[in-house]
Chain A
């Protein structure tokens, strides 16, 4: 049923897919961008903060036209216990002018815009079509099929997300093991712009990003986030699926508990819930990365497991764009030499390794494991809480030295010195 063969088929119009399609179209290739939702972004969800420099490379000054929410100038790491919060609050002018650093985004709006850019560059957007399977000839991927319809191309780029069905079908990865997958759950809560700017002490379109660890997740491996958008707040949790299943707790329970914590509640008070969603997040990092290429096919974005959470920040979108850039280069070269074999497409992996994408994944290779250390959510927040309580409380009894307070806090929380040292060591290596 094929009429013309296309040069490239990109499956999935998320950040990776749209970026790849954009770059390939710009290079004059015939590229179809297939999306199962009615429009790009309709099925996507991120916290979400986009670290923008890499996008600025391919769409200079994108913030001038893209529907970004706020540019982040205030990054906060917060440890929560049931009754306390301890935050490391970094605010800087360094991030308050172009090219900025990071932006809060709402994916339905943002991806849609990115899809429009790809289309404007000449990519053929095909919305509302769900790709069922790859078409393979021997060992080579030659196209895709949706229902009875088939479409052929020299290269298929799988940008179909965390649970990439295409990567599985191609044998590049097996089904995601539960310990490498997290569930992200979030709400978008509407608050008037001036309330946000007052409450978070923001000037104009500045924005704030919180990364939250501790009792937020009732002891389950994971963390919370809270980002300020233009006139709403994105607040949510990313929780390890395996842990959730093991403890037989419903994710909605954990989420409600989180939202009711006084620290969170004070930030979202008076707001109105507008949207609610959940999405899978690959969390394995380098250890979990599938094979990324084969004859006639490449895997990019979340489908390639390209996310990093190091406790201070969470990244996925910028890595997706980085992988799209590397993939586009490889495909353009392959197109020029008419060689779409695995050897030729290995250029993708090479470019990826030369870029910040692989480098960062290497740097934080131990982060996933470290971030799953139960002491991170159960013990350390409590220890910090006890330390600061000891420092600040004036109980009309004699004060103690900091060291004493610290030692007492450690003991009170059954933290052995050995574990503490191990964790410090591992933390230093992982982060």
Chain B
């Protein structure tokens, strides 16, 4: 059984730079696999380790995602192969375009029974792409999955937390599951795995390799800006601890919050 885990490689949100005019830039950001995607990869790898099968990591994006450090990182976490759909037409791709690309890529792979996604991408967190891929493939699709087990009859037993309810479900294969970060802790790559990573195969496909001749965008990004912020007083208290505490209490009284 092949398990595909979809990962999004994005600029690290921690490296976001906000200009004085409120403009936002990721020019100096480090590109990394999304932090919500790593638990999904770990979950897939554990399933493969327990029940046999192979994990194929899949990602789509511009040439920015095709970095040695990123490839090595993914392959050192237990994925056997990495498929990268690389095309600069994917710049600013939103969920609809990405879902189409991933669907086509998954169909090109053989013997895929399960596709895993994280709960959302690190940069946009729209929580849509996995669900859209599932619908496009026509497979049973669930989100908010907290636990996955393989049953003997080739079905999965899945736990979901939905608002205030815990659900236990039998999911027939093939299926697409969007898992939460709680599902498991991603492993720390060992030296051995990092070395092995250099020997694993990376497939690079273009959009035409997967039968896509052109992508029509689903959104136009008009502007990206710093979020509106409440303007705060920014009053820094000074003096000894007692003095500062006293001043604080007085201020809070005056403001009417105490």
Contacts and interface: CB of A to CB of B under 8 A. Distances in A.
Nearest to A34: B191
B68 A116 contact: yes
Interface stretch (A61-69, A119-127, A251-259, A292-300): A119-127
Contact of B191 (A38, A39, A149): A149
A204 interface: no
A1 interface: yes
Interface in A122-138: 124-129
Contacts of B194: 126-129
A195 to B, nearest CB: 17
A43 B189 CA distance: 19
A3 B192 CA distance: 9
Interface string A39-66: 1000000000000000000000000000
A126 B195 contact: yes
A146 B192 CA distance: 11
B246 interface: no
Contacts of A127: 69, 72, 194
A119 B192 CA distance: 17
B190 interface: yes
Interface residues of B, number: 10
Contacts of B198: 124-125
A112 B198 CA distance: 17
B82 to A, nearest CB: 16
Interface in B174-192: 189-192
Contacts of A34: 191
Given A119-B68, A125-B72, A149 B190 contact: yes
B193 to A, nearest CB: 10
Interface string B125-145: 000000000000000000000
Contacts of A39: 69
A32 B192 CA distance: 11
A34 B189 CA distance: 13
Contacts of B69: 38-39, 127
B69 to A, nearest CB: 6
A96 B195 CA distance: 42
A151 B72 CA distance: 19
A424 to B, nearest CB: 49
Contacts of A38: 69
Interface of B: 68-69, 72, 189-192, 194-195, 198
- Pick the 5 closest A-B CB pairs, nearest first: A126-B194, A149-B191, A129-B191, A124-B198, A149-B190
